[in-house]
């Protein structure tokens, strides 16, 4: 086994399928392990490169393998799929992972540390609570509308639901249902507020998060997500690559020397893309207060393009700016527009 230089692991919940090969690509190892057996096997195995798909549990496994002296690498599953030969099973998947890792132009995913994973989990919980709050609000609006009561749009009207119920004559059973929904709504609001306070506190204590919040339009929520996703920015060649990984670039379908650009590709993290677009829209809503070259560029774009197109273009620019801040350890500085001669 000393000649094994590359190991591909097809991760599972309880079973793990391993494929090992030498420098020439000859298969030397093909075994199935449980989680405990795999860690015991790799703890006594000579240091080598171990490749896995970037899926559930991969980042935790990568940290464990790095502690054992191995070199863990993660590949996006979409880049492994073309290397699956013929029929599909777990051993063939592990072999395909090795094949993909041997490509000289393959792009790998940087393993996340525990703090980044915890922060990502906190954001997912917040998004889930926000969706539940919207659902509870819509149900309250819908039930009242069935009885001819139309509340104003927004959460402010839901917070004053007790006054509405006191003024209207409604069936007692319906009032109980609405009060129960209102209590659930207030609970969700309290949970969301607590999570946002925690995120704000962590961002203010993080150097990168503070520097990211110097970018116009980016607040604590987006800054905390970017700090977890971008990191030091070294796993991206440039800001354009980071923007492309988020899906803020046009899809391309070019052939015969003719370039054909479509809508944005929508690849990568959809939540981060949504937050960047929201930051862009917030910047555009306060455009009259903004100064510098970025504001001038947005004003010029709005004269030629639709506001939705400008929002996506500005989100792309914000993504590239945040990568530059993370990679070069700088802050955002407003560049003044040179006076016309």
Same domain for 242 and 309, yes or no, is yes
Q: Answer whether residue 311 is part of any domain.
A: yes
Q: What does the alpha-carbon distance between residue 174 and residue 144 come to, in Å, rounded to a whole number? A: 9
pLDDT for the residue numbered 261: 76
Q: Tell me the torsion sign for CA atoms 28, 32, 35, 40.
A: negative
Tokens of 109: 């995913």
290-307 residue pLDDT tens: 888 888 889 999 999 999
Q: What does the alpha-carbon distance between residue 244 and residue 50 come to, in Å, rounded to a whole number? A: 27
Q: State percent of the chain over pLDDT 90.
A: 37
* 3-class DSSP state of 339: coil
48-58 residue pLDDT tens: 999 999 888 89
Tokens of 18: 């391993």
Alpha-carbon distance values, 317 to 26, 199, 207, 302, 304 (Å): 45, 24, 22, 15, 17
Same domain for 228 and 324, yes or no, is yes
Q: Answer whether residue 341 is part of any domain.
A: no
Same domain for 154 and 70, yes or no, is no
Q: Are 35 and 16 in contact (CB under 8 A)?
A: yes
Maximum distance among all alpha carbons in the chain?
A: 81
Q: State percent of the chain over pLDDT 70.
A: 97
242-270 residue pLDDT tens: 888 888 888 877 777 787 877 787 777 88
Same domain for 138 and 82, yes or no, is no
Domain of residue 156 covers 114-205
Confidence of residue 16 (pLDDT cuts 50, 70, 90): very high
Neighbours of 84 (CB within 10 A): 16
Number of compact structural domains in the chain: 3
Same domain for 33 and 69, yes or no, is yes
72-87 residue pLDDT tens: 999 988 889 989 887 8
Residue that terminates a domain, selected from 205, 227, 253: 205
pTM greater than 0.95: no
Cα 130-134-136 angle, rounded to 5 deg: 115
Same domain for 105 and 119, yes or no, is no
End-to-end CA, the chain: 73
Q: Which of 292, 325, 296, 118 is nearest to 218 (CA)?
A: 325
Q: Answer whether residue 200 is part of any domain.
A: yes
């Amino acid at each position: 086994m000393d000649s094994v230089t590359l190991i591909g692991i097809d991760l599972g919940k309880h079973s793990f399928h391993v494929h090992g090969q030498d420098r020439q690509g000859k298969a030397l190892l093909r075994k199935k392990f449980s989680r405990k057996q795999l860690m015991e096997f790799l703890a006594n195995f000579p240091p080598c490169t171990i490749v896995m798909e970037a899926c559930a549990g991969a980042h935790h496994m990568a940290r464990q393998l790095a502690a054992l002296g191995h070199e863990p690498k993660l590949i996006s599953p979409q880049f492994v799929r073309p290397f699956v030969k013929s029929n599909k099973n777990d051993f063939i998947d592990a072999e395909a992972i090795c094949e993909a890792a041997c490509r000289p132009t393959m792009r790998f995913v940087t393993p996340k540390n525990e703090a980044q994973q915890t922060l990502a989990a906190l954001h997912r919980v917040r998004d889930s609570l926000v969706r539940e709050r919207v659902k509870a609000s819509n149900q309250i609006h819908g039930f009242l509308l069935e009885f001819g009561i139309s509340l104003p749009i927004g959460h402010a009207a839901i917070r004053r639901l007790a006054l509405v119920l006191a003024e209207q004559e409604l069936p007692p059973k319906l009032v109980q249902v609405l009060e129960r929904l209102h209590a659930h709504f207030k609970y969700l609001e309290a949970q969301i507020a607590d999570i946002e306070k925690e995120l704000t506190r962590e961002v203010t204590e993080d150097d990168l998060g503070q520097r990211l919040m110097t970018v116009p339009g980016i607040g604590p929520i987006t800054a905390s997500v970017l700090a977890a996703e971008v990191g030091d920015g070294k796993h991206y060649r440039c800001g354009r690559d980071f923007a492309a990984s988020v899906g803020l670039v046009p899809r391309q379908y070019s052939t015969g020397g003719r370039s054909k650009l479509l809508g944005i590709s929508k690849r990568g993290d959809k939540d981060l893309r949504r937050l960047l677009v929201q930051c862009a829209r917030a910047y555009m809503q306060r455009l009259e207060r903004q100064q510098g070259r970025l504001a001038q560029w947005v004003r010029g774009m709005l004269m030629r393009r639709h506001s939705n197109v400008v929002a996506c273009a500005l989100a792309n620019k914000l993504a590239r700016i945040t990568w530059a801040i993370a990679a070069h350890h700088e802050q955002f500085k407003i560049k003044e527009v040179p006076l016309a001669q």
